[in-house]
């Protein structure tokens, strides 16, 4: 098999789907709080509603660790215990799931997108023909 065809290579591959912690964010946040403050009940630190809001808005473990730290710092700064949904709303970035932050998370910055749009062979002609606008909820309209 000196020069295998794509079909032969494809037949020998196994596709793995890595879903990460999708659907387990609340459990992960609770686990983090238990690991960081073993002597304290996580519900004494964060209200269930605030925990639900964090689990709903945050996707990756890195996001969860970063924003949970920011929320806890804000709660300490304001002397608020336990953390409430109002504090979570005030701390989280409002356009976290808008088009630009989503593309940045996937590794596309402004420079990469503009270079892509300049090369017609790479499909950039499609980008220049489309106008992408974000709707009021952050979705693409």
Instruction: Give the residue, 117 or 75, on which the prediction is more confident.
Output: 75
Distances (CA, A) of 121 to 116, 126, 131: 9, 10, 19
Q: Is this structure's pTM higher than 0.85?
A: no
pLDDT at 50: 95
pLDDT in tens, 37-59: 989 999 999 999 999 999 999 88
89 in Cβ contact with 102 (< 8 Å):
no
Residue 67 CA to residue 88 CA, distance in Å, equals: 9
Buried b (16+ CB within 10 A) or exposed e, 61-97: eebbeebbeebbeebeeeeeebbbbebbeebbeeeee
Residue 12 CA to residue 86 CA, distance in Å, equals: 52
Helix axes 48-57, 25-36, angle to 10 degrees: 120
């Amino acid at each position: 098999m000196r020069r295998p065809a794509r079909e032969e290579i494809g037949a020998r591959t196994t596709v793995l789907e890595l879903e990460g912690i999708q659907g387990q964010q609340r459990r992960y946040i609770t686990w983090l709080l238990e690991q960081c403050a073993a002597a304290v009940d996580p519900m004494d630190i964060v209200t269930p509603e605030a925990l639900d809001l964090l689990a709903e808005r945050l996707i990756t473990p890195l996001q969860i660790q970063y924003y949970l730290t920011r929320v806890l710092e804000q709660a300490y700064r304001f002397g608020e215990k336990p953390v409430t949904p109002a504090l979570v709303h005030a701390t989280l970035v409002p356009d976290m799931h808008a088009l630009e932050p989503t593309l940045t998370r996937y590794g596309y910055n402004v420079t990469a997108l503009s270079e892509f749009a300049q090369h017609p062979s790479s499909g950039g002609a499609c980008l220049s023909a489309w106008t992408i606008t974000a709707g009021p909820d952050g979705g693409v309209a």
